[in-house]
Amino acid sequence: MPFDHVRQWLLSAREVIGAAVVSPDFYLQLGLIALCALVAWASRALFRARFDVSSMAMGWPGRLRRFMRVLVGSAPIAVFAALVFLLGILIRGTELGGSAWLLLAAAQLALTWLAIRLVTSAIRDPLLVSLVSVLAWCVAVLGIVGQLQTVSAALDSVAIVLGDLRLSPLLVIKLVVLLALALWASKLLSQFLESRISHASDLTPSMQVLLIKLTHVVLMVLAVVLVLSAVGINLSALAIFSGAVGVGIGLGLQKIVSNFISGVILLVDKSVKPGDLVSIGDSTGRISAMNTRYISIAAGDGRAILVPNEDLVTQKVVNWTYSDTNALVKVKFGAAYDSDPRRVCQLAIDVAAASERVSTAKSPGCLLAEFGESGMQFGLTFWVTDPSGMDSARSEVLMALWDAFKREDIRMPYPVRDIRMATPPAADAPAGGSR
Q: What is the pLDDT of residues 314-328, one digit of tens each?
A: 888 888 877 777 888
| More confident position, 382 or 173 | 382
Identify the pLDDT of residue 347: 92
How high is the pLDDT of residue 37?
84
Sign of CA dihedral 266, 269, 273, 279: negative
Question: What is the pLDDT, as a whole number, of residue 401?
Answer: 92
Judged against a pLDDT cut of 90, whether residue 366 lies above it is answered with yes
Average pLDDT on 287-316 reads 83
Q: Which domains does the chain carry?
A: 12-146 (no CATH), 268-319 (2.30.30.60), 327-408 (3.30.70.100)
Q: Using an 8 Å Cβ cutoff, are 136 and 116 in contact?
A: yes
Higher pLDDT, 9 or 285: 285
Reduce the DSSP state of residue 232 to 3 states and report it.
coil
Q: Are 267 and 211 in contact (CB under 8 A)?
A: no
CB atoms within 10 A of CB 94: 9
Please state the rounded mean pLDDT for residues 364-393: 87
Q: What is the pLDDT of residues 291-300, one digit of tens each?
A: 878 888 887 7
Predicted pLDDT at 221: 83
pLDDT band at 231 (very low <50, low <70, confident <90, very high): confident
Task: State what percent of residues in the chain have pLDDT above 70.
Answer: 77
Confidence band (pLDDT; 50, 70, 90) for 207?
A: confident
Q: Does residue 1 carry a pLDDT above 50? A: no
Question: Angle, nearest 10°, between helix axes 101-120 and 126-145?
Answer: 160
The mean pLDDT value for 150-178 works out to 74
Average pLDDT of the residues in 185-203: 79
Per-residue confidence band for 435, with pLDDT thresholds at 50, 70 and 90: very low
User: pLDDT confidence of 399, banded at 50, 70, 90?
Assistant: very high
296 contacts 284 by C-beta, under 8 angstroms: no
| pLDDT value of position 63 | 67
Mean pLDDT for the stretch of residues 173-201: 80
The pLDDT assigned to 313 comes to: 84
Rounded distance, CA 370 to CA 303, Å?
Answer: 40
**Length of the chain (residues):** 435
Lowest mean pLDDT among 25-39, 319-333, 413-427: 413-427
Q: How far is CA 428 from the centre of its chain?
A: 90
The β-bridge partners of 280 are 283
Work out the pLDDT band at 2, boundaries 50, 70, 90. Answer: very low
Mean pLDDT along residues 232-237: 66
Beta-strand ranges (E) seen in 311-413 are 318-319, 327-335, 365-371, 376-384
pLDDT tens for 45-73 read: 777 767 666 666 666 666 667 777 777 77
pLDDT, tens digit, 9 for 90 and up, residues 87-126? 878 877 665 445 677 777 888 888 888 887 877 776 776 7
Given a contact cutoff of 8 angstroms between Cβ atoms, the answer to whether 384 and 352 are in contact is: no
What pLDDT score does 355 carry?
Answer: 87
Tell me the torsion sign for CA atoms 304, 307, 312, 318. Answer: negative
Asked if pLDDT for residue 4 goes beyond 80, the answer is no
pLDDT tens, position by position, 84-93: 888 878 877 6
Task: Report the pLDDT averaged over residues 133-155.
Answer: 73
Q: Worst-scoring range by mean pLDDT, 89-103, 208-222, 224-238, 387-401?
A: 89-103
pLDDT at 378: 93
Contact in structure between 136 and 177 (CB atoms under 8 Å) = no
